[in-house]
A and B are shown apart, each in its own frame.
Chain A
Amino acid sequence: MGDNDGVDEFASAHAAARDDRGDSGASAQVGRAARGGQLTARRVATLIWALCLVIALATFVLLAIGPGRVLPSDIFSGVGGVSFLVLAMTFASVGALVARRVPENGIGWIFLLTGLANSVQLLTWQYADVGLHATERLPGATAAAVFNTVIGEATAGLLGLSLLLFPDGRLPSRRWRPALVSLVVGMALLVLAGTLRPGRYAEPFAQISNPFGLAGAGGVIDGVDFAGWLFVIAGIGLGAAAMVIRLRGARGIERQQLKLVLTVGSVAATAAALLMVTWLVWPTGQLQLRIAVLGLCFASVPLVAGVAILRYRLYEIEIVVNHTLVYVALTLILAAAFAATVVLLGTLLGRGSGWATAAATLVVAAAFRPLRARLQDAVDRRFNRARYDALRRVADFLEDLRSGRAAPEEVEGVLREVLSDPTLELMFFLPESGLYVDARGVPVSDHPDAGRERVPVERGGQPLGLVLFDPASQENPTLLRHVVEAGGLGIEIARLHVALRRQLAEVEASRARIVAAGNEERRRLERDLHDGAQQRLVSIGLALRHAQHELSTSSPERASHTLDGALAEVALSIDELRELAHGLPPPQLDAGLGPALRELARRAPVPIEVKVPGERFDPGLETAAYFIACEGFTNAVKHADATRIELSAGRVNGKLVVSVADDGVGGATPVAGSGLSGLSDRVAAHGGTLRIESDQGAGTTLTAELPCGS
């Protein structure tokens, strides 16, 4: 057997490839050599596969023209034989694919070899069977039978090799070498025993006596055979153990690969075991069919292994496997529950199977959902570690959030970590403004850049935000959805935080605007005083000086004229000063909101009805209320063409409610920079709300609610 050489060959191919990858400074010659080696490897793989195909086709021809006798030992005839041909070709094809794609991975070569060994075994079996039982013995039929017997048992060891080296074609560590040795030694012993066992062969080659048999050494040979099996079985056992141990330490892709193969392998092994059991119970009948099922069961394992190594649709298959597991278990348990209920009730009631069936249906219906959830969780924990771990991490985060150990803003970091996408972005939707913002509250575009995808986050039908991610980093798209769903609460809290911060920023901006407006007002006053009243007084002074000069130099009439001019200036100054005082809190406000508003009403050109109780409020609040009333009143007089205005102010539900209603034209809207906009800032500064009802032609009602504090 060339197994050992084969393994060494893969190992050196692997080493060459590793050199190629690892040592980028190596000379170009080495690189070319490695590439050349890869090319050769591909050709070799294709060649072996073609050989397998030829052998399989030849075997198929033999099967088709074969005697078709159904003896208990003649299991590889008919559909059974075809099924095992399929198995051999599955190994060969998957092996060839893997060996061509990743020649440094020994698994491909082992699969190829397994396929080759199996197909050779099948061919020699069929040839010997047909050749020995035909009317005329075919040439080489004996040799085929001998060859088949020699390698027959040893091929089992190849399974151990696959287990031991999956998925990367390397031993888990150097300590696993004995397992490899055990397999190789075991296979060698089995070949030896097959070669040297004396006497006649087993059916269907019983007519041949082993030409190489060591006469009289039957006992020793049986011992060698037994030892060979011991070594091989130990090797296979160690191989299975290696897989489990690998799974425990594996992360990411390797974990998925192992999990997939282990899951499918266990299912196939269970199915095979069940078939073997039927063998014991029911030794004859549909034998070939059962063999066919067994072969196909086995064939699923190399298929899945190839998928795992080539990472072709790894996650979709995982989901299929996951669901299959859940639903198979669900079906079994529910069927058992149904049967048990029917039997139990049938026994108890003695009759009326209809009742029992109905009750059983109810039991099954009631158990379906909770049982499915349980099973899904159990399957996730065991088989879908990534999802389980991710959801676990999210749940931990939510727990930390509840107990105050984590800030809601960390949710983005948790998503990045769980989904291993450091470029993942979480943006929050603010329903009141319809904007998307990041964790700092800065508005961002919800259109992803090229090469990124978006997933909406919703909770209870309400949009919370978006997750932008790099689809290349997400090998499992369903995981993202599950994680985002699970983290919904954290995202919602973070969104509320962000919204709150934005509101605070808005309030701060509005406060700054009010301070700026105050400063602007002071500047205006200062300018009005300096440029208006003060200059006028200076010019009056100058006029008086001039009059003085005129009195001393010319006629008193001219001085009188100058003084008239100065007096006119004085009158203008008084008007100006009054204008200036407009916009400052009136002195009447010291006596309360009522007197101040009544004073305002007295000066108004239209009748104003004032309804203000005598209650006093905080002076700042009263001033605000006064100016709100003034602004509303000015709007009503200036813009609304009102003939009647109703002004009221008073405490309602712990708030000072100021309302100005007129019977004018209506249709007022707050425009930026207008009096109404300044008004809403003033109201917002007191934490209040401003409402303007102003339908066209229906008058305007302006209502401000200011919290009173007390």
Chain B
Amino acid sequence: MRVVIAEDQVLLREGLGRLFEDAGHEVIASLGDTDGLLPAIAGQHPDLIVLDIRMPPTFTDEGARAAREIKERHPELGVLLLSQHIETTHAVALVTLGGFGYLLKDRVLAVGEFLAAAERVAQGGSALDPKVVAGLVSGRGEDDLLAELTEREREVLELMAEGLTNAGIAKRLYLSERTVEAHVRHVLTKLDLPESEDGHRRVLAVLAHLSATQESVT
């Protein structure tokens, strides 16, 4: 996997680089701001861009704006946005683009899951931070469809929303893929969602459902 990193903090940038290199990936560019991103992408055919949301000069949302621009020009590229804090609405909107990830920075410490998410995004999948998913799932009323899910099904739903594939879910929950498939089917039936194959469209459907039902509750 060829990776481009844009992060203004030197230590973190180097740490991220080491992390990807330790896992056998190639870091082809390491930038301190968003200015050099597009030329770097154009020349080197990366698979994944890792971006900090806050970067110079204003330290507000330079990363997010750069991410949108990259997705408009190179829809096939995976973009992983790293944030210091949770921001549900924007995160969900971005992730529904596909080939997009939104994770809190401290996820990098769980190296295995972080790399898995990065690879998923690079392959056109999604990665949504568990905290964002938890925000979408929590705080619902008694009559909500989610209330009908079992504890296990709920876990599966959350992992689906994070963008994990059936195999990824199985690995995370220490279940067989077959069991996971059954849970996924139950979840989709209970939530009245169309059965679609394991992939981005499933994430979209789940997120759309969660966002819509949450709006109706709040």
**Residues of A bordering B, CB below 8 Å:** 527, 530-531, 534-539, 541-543, 545-546, 549, 569
Contacts and interface: CB of A to CB of B under 8 A. Distances in A.
B9 interface: yes
Contact of B22 (A536, A538, A549): A549
Contacts of B106: 534, 537-538, 541
Given A545-B109, A545-B111, A538 B12 contact: yes
A546 B85 contact: no
B99 to A, nearest CB: 25
B214 to A, nearest CB: 25
A541 B84 CA distance: 15
B104 to A, nearest CB: 9
B66 interface: no
Given A542-B15, A549-B22, A535 B109 contact: no
B108 A538 contact: yes
B105 A538 contact: yes
A541 B107 CA distance: 10
B208 interface: no
B87 to A, nearest CB: 12
B31 interface: no
Interface in B1-58: 9, 11-12, 15-16, 18-19, 22, 54
A535 B9 CA distance: 8
Nearest to A562: B18
Contact of B12 (A527, A542, A546, A549): A542
A527 B84 CA distance: 9
Contact of A531 (B11, B22, B84): B84
Given A527-B59, A545-B19, A546-B22, A539 B84 contact: no
B38 to A, nearest CB: 25
A531 B59 contact: yes
A569 B11 contact: yes
Contacts of A534: 84, 105-106
B161 to A, nearest CB: 24
A536 B84 contact: no
Contact of A535 (B18, B19, B22, B105): B105
A-B residue pairs, 4 tightest by C-beta = A542-B15, A530-B84, A539-B11, A541-B109
A535 B19 CA distance: 16
A531 B54 contact: yes
Nearest to B111: A545
Nearest to B109: A541
A531 B63 CA distance: 14
A109 to B, nearest CB: 88
A543 B19 CA distance: 9
Interface string B50-88: 000010000100000000000000000000000011000
A549 B105 CA distance: 20
5 contacts: A534-B105, A535-B11, A536-B11, A538-B109, A539-B12
Nearest to B82: A538
A543 B15 CA distance: 6
Contacts of A536: 11
B85 A530 contact: yes
B111 A535 contact: no
B9 A539 contact: yes
Nearest to A572: B11
B42 to A, nearest CB: 29
A708 B140 CA distance: 48
A538 B111 CA distance: 12
A95 to B, nearest CB: 88
B19 A546 contact: yes
By secondary structure, the B interface counts as helix
A535 B108 contact: no
A535 B54 CA distance: 12
By secondary structure, the A interface counts as helix
Interface of B: 9, 11-12, 15-16, 18-19, 22, 54, 59, 84-85, 105-106, 108-109, 111
Contact of B15 (A527, A530, A531, A539): A539
A552 B18 CA distance: 15
A542 B9 contact: no
A549 B22 CA distance: 8
A88 B22 CA distance: 128
Given A530-B54, A542-B109, 18 more contacts: A530-B84, A531-B59, A534-B106, A535-B84, A538-B15, A539-B11, A539-B15, A541-B106, A541-B108, A542-B15, A542-B16, A542-B19, A542-B108, A543-B11, A545-B109, A546-B18, A546-B19, A569-B11
Contacts of B111: 545
Nearest to A526: B85
A370 B15 CA distance: 100
A539 B108 CA distance: 9
Nearest to B105: A538
A535 B59 contact: no
A86 B22 CA distance: 128
A421 to B, nearest CB: 56
Contacts of B22: 546, 549
B129 to A, nearest CB: 14
A539 to B, nearest CB: 4
Nearest to A529: B84
A549 B20 CA distance: 12
A543 B11 CA distance: 9
Contacts of B84: 530-531, 534-535
Nearest to A550: B22
A536 B84 CA distance: 12
Nearest to A532: B9
B180 to A, nearest CB: 28
Contacts of B9: 531, 535, 539
A543 to B, nearest CB: 6
A645 B105 CA distance: 46
B211 to A, nearest CB: 25
Given A534-B105, A535-B12, A535-B105, A542 B59 contact: no
B86 to A, nearest CB: 12
Contacts of B19: 542, 545-546
Nearest to A544: B109
A531 B109 CA distance: 17
A527 B60 CA distance: 10
Contacts of B85: 530
A84 to B, nearest CB: 100
A521 B54 CA distance: 19
A234 B106 CA distance: 115
A539 B7 CA distance: 12
A137 to B, nearest CB: 121
Contacts of A531: 9, 54, 59, 84
Contacts of A537: 106
A531 B8 CA distance: 10
Contacts of A569: 11
Contacts of A541: 106, 108-109
Contacts of A542: 12, 15-16, 18-19, 108-109
A530 B54 CA distance: 10
Contacts of A539: 9, 11-12, 15
A416 B16 CA distance: 77
Contacts of B59: 527, 531
A452 to B, nearest CB: 50
A37 to B, nearest CB: 83
B54 to A, nearest CB: 7
Contacts of B108: 538, 541-542
A597 B12 CA distance: 39
Given A527-B59, A535-B84, A539-B9, A546 B15 contact: yes
Nearest to B12: A539
A216 to B, nearest CB: 124
B80 to A, nearest CB: 15
Nearest to B19: A542
